[in-house]
Structure 1
């Protein structure tokens, strides 16, 4: 992290006592009215102090002052101002003691505490929280966060400690001293048991789905798949910047597709063709080059007595593959097409299925 010595900026020794207190409070992310209340000074005086601080330290704006407060050691991530607490400003007002923070990643990033939505700040700060939630249980170093959120265009200064402090203040669970984000010499992580992340619950359900599948319980597989799919709620990590969010969007999209296909496959095994057809049509419309989905739809249509519609699905898939990718249908899709033409129900896996 840059320091005043390496940046060539003056140190806080040039500031008066109250100016240092104001800079500490600014570094903690407090607004001017909160600082005024905490220090028992007029709000206009806070603005005047901050203006003098910027001039004395050669800083551009308030954001630069926040970073400088951390660089100079006036503020330690998660510990508040080093000089003394910034007044009685309540950081957890209205939150129940021991409340669990819920974080949703399977859509636009959101967080709640006690049913109340939390304000998570601007997109880069949200992306830092998303990185911690996606890697729940693992410590991320500041460099990993910089690489994951900023990629090849890192910020001018290491603002990760600033964002972490603000997030800890926002996510603080209850009135106790324990934070939701832990910090040690290796980096930052979410406190185990303090945060409920929907992506983690989805992965637990995927494990349960595999157990039910191995036990030969197709109805239970369908039920668990439906529960997992109910957790998805729109565009994944919508709008969040950085290579980590982009990679996770792709991974979670594939995860959702795999769960959908698994559910539909078991519906076909149970002979629930009419229930599966509408969802398969919608899925193929969204992913027209997905050949396994096309094959499942063809099987469902054939078993429902709609052989002509099943063959039409094949023809459309074949044309789309040729036009978009310049390739013929895969062996799997061609084999499904041939078995429908020959009425090979055993080959289609339909023998003995309920009508």
Structure 2
């Protein structure tokens, strides 16, 4: 009793401290790639996103982050004019499967990144990374560099952005939404290629610009701005006849495929090449 009263011994209750809580497991970041086949990773682990209709539904949400898309809107996005017999009743099944594959091992939310709103679903983008986000970052860096006259950096950032594409965007996904996004991203890539080529021409890298533009024009034979840039690159290399041949090929394709004549830009470029007008072609 004496020892207790004088603090020589204490009770277990007086000295024991509660053990620290176990550390919360870290949740690996969710990443997506849309600049090619739709793919996803949780950390470094690739995820199985299921059949293509299910992936198309995911794409319709992923590419409109934090926006509620109505049930009927999703049905139109993924099935178009041929909706399933069950109508919007098919959506909960697809969403359930997507949530299951996207949910982290220790995640407590049953909804994961696909949330239910009053009228539809939304994709919660917080903490999620996509290659499209990186594409836009590089695009802004390229524009900023071009605005300050740093053409080397502008060309490099455009090249980095183009390098993010891994084939056809959203390759193989059905539905009007995926097709519309494919067209939009295809145009985005062409715009980057044109801006890169313009920077290369202004830097005097005529051979590289001509080689790359020839490849782009072969894939998009009606693209008049690409043809005009290629004509300028060939002219700068002293290949005037080849530059005029580019005009003739595009002219013939436009007449044959669409019964139209080339636009004003391509006609002006041809006239400048014929006249040897370096100033009009941007080389004076």
- Give the TM bin, normalised by the shorter chain: 0.7 to 0.9
Q: Which residue of 1 aligns with 2:21?
A: none
- How far did residue 174 of structure 1 move? 4.4
Compared CA separation, residues 136 and 160, structure 1 to 2 (3 A)? same
Aligned residues: 256
129, 137, 140: which one aligns with 1:204: 137
Distance 1:199 1:279 in 2: 23
Asked whether 1:190 is paired with 2:126, we answer: no
Q: CA deviation at 1:142?
A: 1.9
1:171 partnered with 2:102: yes
Write out aligned runs for 1:9-20 (5 A).
Answer: none
The 3-state SS of whatever aligns with 2:139 is: helix
Match of 1:335 among 259, 265, 268: 268
Match of 1:347, SS state, is helix
**3-state secondary structure, aligned to 1:102:** strand
Q: Is the partner of 1:188 in helix, strand or coil?
A: strand
Shift of 1:277: 1.0
| Structure 1 pair 163–319 and aligned structure 2 pair: CA distance change class (3 A) | same
- The alpha-carbon deviation at position 190 of structure 1 amounts to 2.2
Is 1:100–1:173's contact at 8 Å kept on the other side of the alignment?
A: no
Work out the CA distance in 2 between the residues paired with 1:156 and 1:194.
36
Offset at residue 216 of structure 1 (A): 2.5
Deviations 1:305-344 (A, max 9, x none): 1112112212222222222222222221121111111111
Q: Which residue of 2 aligns with 1:285?
A: 218
Alignment match, 1:119: 48
Q: Of 255, 258, 263, which residue of structure 2 is paired with 1:325?
A: 258
Aligned to 2:14: none
Partner of residue 64, structure 2:
135
Q: In structure 2, what is the Cα distance between the partners aligned to 1:172 and 1:240? A: 22
Provide the secondary structure at the position in 1 that maps to 2:137: helix
Post-superposition offset of 1:290:
1.0
- Counterpart-to-counterpart distance in 2, 1:240 and 1:316: 33
What's the counterpart of residue 166 of structure 2? 233
> Cα distance, 1:148 vs. partner?
0.8
TM-score by length of 1: 0.69
Q: 1:146-196: per-residue Cα shift (whole Å, max 9, x none)?
A: 121112222222111111111111011341314122223243222233321
8 Å CA contact retained: 1:180, 1:194: no
For residues 37-116 of structure 1, the aligned pairs below 5 Å read: 97-116=26-45
TM-score by length of 2: 0.85
RMSD over aligned Cα, in angstroms?
1.6
- Map of 1:210-249 to 2, 5 A cutoff? 210-249=143-182
2:85 alignment partner, SS class: coil
Structure 1 residue 137, shift from structure 2 partner = 2.7
User: What is the CA–CA distance in structure 1 between the aligned matches of 2:267 and 2:246, rounded to whole Å?
Assistant: 12
**Deviations 1:103-148 (Å, cap 9, x if unpaired)?**
1111111111222221111111111111111112322222221121
Is the partner of 1:153 in helix, strand or coil?
coil
Which residue in the other structure is 1:261 paired with?
Answer: 194
- SS for the counterpart of 2:173 is coil
CA deviation vs aligned residue, 1:58-104 (integer Å, no higher than 9, x gap): xxxxxxxxxxxxxxxxxxxxxxxxxxxxxxxxxxxxxx831111111
Match 1:161 to one of 85, 92, 99: 92
CA contact (8 A) 1:99 1:174 kept: no
Q: Which residue of 2 aligns with 1:148?
A: 77
**Contact 1:141–1:187 (Cα < 8 Å) also in 2:** yes
Q: Distance in 2 between matches of 1:216 and 1:237?
A: 35
Return closer, same or farther for 1:141/1:166 CA change in 2, 3 Å cut-off: same
